[in-house]
Amino acid sequence: MVMKQDNRTPAQRILATASDLFYRNGYRATGINEIIEKSGVAKATFYDHFPSKESLALAYVKSMNEADKRGVEEGLKPFPGPYEKLLGLLDFLVPWSKERDYRGCAYLNIASEIPDHSHPVRHESKGRYQVIRTLVGQLVHELKKQRGRAWKDKDADRIADDYLLIFAGALALAQVYHHPRPLREAKDAATRLLA
């Protein structure tokens, strides 16, 4: 269980273990003791770094948020234009959902386990979607500019909203169906939306 020669700091190991367990098994279903055991850390060490389980939940969502932000930024760089970027964003979902047994959107899942909607974790989850909405909005505006007269009657913001609905819907449906088909359908739907 305990990995020797692990050059990560205890805090990193804890966060990595917790991220995996929180996502795979759920926040409440995951106990502190399991996190401690699986990350090969003493209980006191855990509480040295995270004053409570709740603070770990927040660290989990924040670190995901940052990682995803960077990941999307890097991942979209190779695509030449806004159109390709917008479709590319959806392309990432299929392989990513297959990597680990897909359990839906991590932000939505943990948010649904925290009723208080003013809780920092909920705030961070909302922030994630706002970041995506902003990015999509910029790309659609860019696309509108690019298309010129052909798109002069299109409302870029409305298209961005539609895109986000499709995006979020795909994540949700792939979870209930436990199948990546909705993710592919989402790309088709987006292709039509941006046609």
Residues 168, 173, 176, 181, Cα dihedral to 10°: -130
Find out whether 61 and 107 touch, Cβ atoms under 8 Å: yes
Q: 9 or 134: whose CB is closer to DNA?
A: 9
Minimum CB–partner distance for residue 25 and DNA (Å): 10
Residue 169 binds which entry of DNA, its own copies, none, CB below 5-8 Å type-dependent: its own copies
Q: How far is CA 108 from CA 129, 156, 157, 183, in A?
A: 10, 26, 23, 17
Q: 8 or 145: whose CB is closer to DNA?
A: 8
Helix axis angle, 53-76 to 82-99, nearest 10° = 130
Residue 85 binds which entry of DNA, its own copies, none, CB below 5-8 Å type-dependent: none
Minimum CB–partner distance for residue 62 and DNA (Å): 17
Binding mask 32-71 for DNA (x = CB under 7 A): xxx-----xxxxxx-xxx-xxxx-----------------
Find out whether 63 and 121 touch, Cβ atoms under 8 Å: no
Binding mask 74-113 for its own copies (x = CB under 8 A): -----------------------------xxx-xxx-xxx
Span 156-175, contacts to its own copies by CB under 8 A: 158, 161-162, 164-173, 175
Stretch that binds its own copies, among 46-54, 84-92, 136-144, 186-194 (CB under 8 A): 186-194
Listed residue (32, 39, 43, 51) closest to 15, CA to CA:
39
Angle 191-194-195 (CA atoms, 0-180°, nearest 5)?
80
Listed residue (106, 129, 125) closest to 27, CA to CA:
106
Minimum CB–partner distance for residue 107 and its own copies (Å): 7
Number of residues this chain uses to bind its own copies (CB under 8 A): 43
Cα separation of 189 and 71, whole Å?
Answer: 24
Minimum CB–partner distance for residue 59 and DNA (Å): 13
Minimum CB–partner distance for residue 121 and DNA (Å): 14
